[in-house]
Amino acid sequence: MSRVITIGAAQLGPIQKAESRAQVVARMLVLMHQAKAKGCGLIVFPELALTTFFPRWYSEDQDEIDAWFEETLPGPETEPLFAAARELGMAFHLGYAEKIVEEGTLRRFNTAVLVDAGGEIVAKYRKVHLPGHDEYDPERAHQHLEKRYFEVGNLGFPVWRALGGIVGMCICNDRRWPETYRVMGLQGVELVLLGYNTPSTNSQSDEAPHLRAFHNLLSMQAGAYQNSTWVVGVAKAGNEDGHELMGGSAIIAPTGEIVAQCRTLGDELVVADCDL
């Protein structure tokens, strides 16, 4: 039986600090309609897709910080994405900042969900490998405060039976560690979805941008090949408030080969037929 799903990797260009969620969602809806026109059954958006990469900004004002988080999903500003999924009959993957009360405790996570073609959340993952630091660092050209603003994900690396296959998720820095893919591979994963927001330069090292782009693809291609799984890695890219994010969004086959890759640093859709 054929199990081919046409997948769109929906890279987002920069989202400036001043941009509203409504502006970003409008851009995402354009990409969803483009994906539908190309026959996609799934569209994959990046990590923290609804806002600028806010961990680069230091704040001690919890209300200011919480403005970047979603307390409900869908909420008033994100409901149009879910409505579009139902209208177009297309699933989507979304990264966002999650604020939630669990067992009486307020928690904040860097989270991704898989939403099916009926507009229902069918899977949730919370980022485990949080990079960066938790206090202001004057030695850095820009801050990377994920350890300040998020807790370590508490859901592990599960897989789900969805979209006619076995699907897993991870987020950004998770992609760099072989165990991420291996834990899902041991559960039979066939498709790994991940978003990232990765700076083109690292103020803590002298790594060249081309080397960082190489490592980005190397880690995803190795994970795909070593676990015989499709990997769809989707970036937020370009110059956000003066800070460069790498692109390189790619759809990678179980052979480790790149079958589709974004060429720009803006909003861009690339599509591939993925045979599970």
Interval 62-108: pLDDT, tens: 999 999 999 999 999 999 999 999 999 999 999 999 999 999 999 99
Catalytic (active site) residue 47: yes
* pLDDT mean over 165-192: 98
pTM: 0.97
Dist CA 94 CA 158 (whole Å): 17
Q: In this structure, are residues 182 and 175 in contact, taking their beta carbons and an 8 Å threshold?
A: no
Residue of 70, 127, 146, 190 marked active site: 127
Catalytic (active site) residue 172: yes
Q: State yes or no: pLDDT of 202 exceeds 90.
A: no
* pLDDT mean over 109-125: 98
Comparing CA positions, the residue from 95, 42, 118, 15 lying closest to residue 272 is 42
Interval 128-166: pLDDT, tens: 999 998 998 888 878 899 999 999 999 999 999 999 999
What's the pLDDT score for residue 142? 80
pLDDT tier at 207, thresholds 50, 70, 90:
confident
* pLDDT mean over 199-227: 91
Comparing CA positions, the residue from 44, 1, 22, 2 lying closest to residue 268 is 44
Dist CA 251 CA 272 (whole Å): 7
Comparing CA positions, the residue from 176, 203, 172, 204 lying closest to residue 53 is 172
What's the pLDDT score for residue 88? 98
Give the contacts of 268 (CB within 8 A, at least 6 positions apart): 10, 11, 13, 247, 249, 262
What's the farthest any 2 CA atoms get from each other in the chain? Answer: 58
CA angle 7, 12, 13 (to 5 degrees): 150
Residue of 40, 70, 170, 172 marked active site: 172
Dist CA 80 CA 74 (whole Å): 9
Instruction: State the average pLDDT for the chain.
Output: 96
Comparing CA positions, the residue from 266, 248, 56 lying closest to residue 146 is 56
What's the pLDDT score for residue 138? 87
Interval 11-68: pLDDT, tens: 999 999 999 999 999 999 999 999 999 999 999 999 999 999 999 999 999 999 999 9
* pLDDT mean over 203-215: 87
Catalytic (active site) residue 60: no
Give the contacts of 114 (CB within 8 A, at least 6 positions apart): 91, 92, 93, 121, 122, 123, 124, 160, 162, 167, 169, 193
Residue 107 C-beta-side C-alpha neighbours within 13 Å: 14
Dist CA 49 CA 180 (whole Å): 22
Residue of 47, 70, 240, 268 marked active site: 47
Comparing CA positions, the residue from 149, 150, 153 lying closest to residue 61 is 149
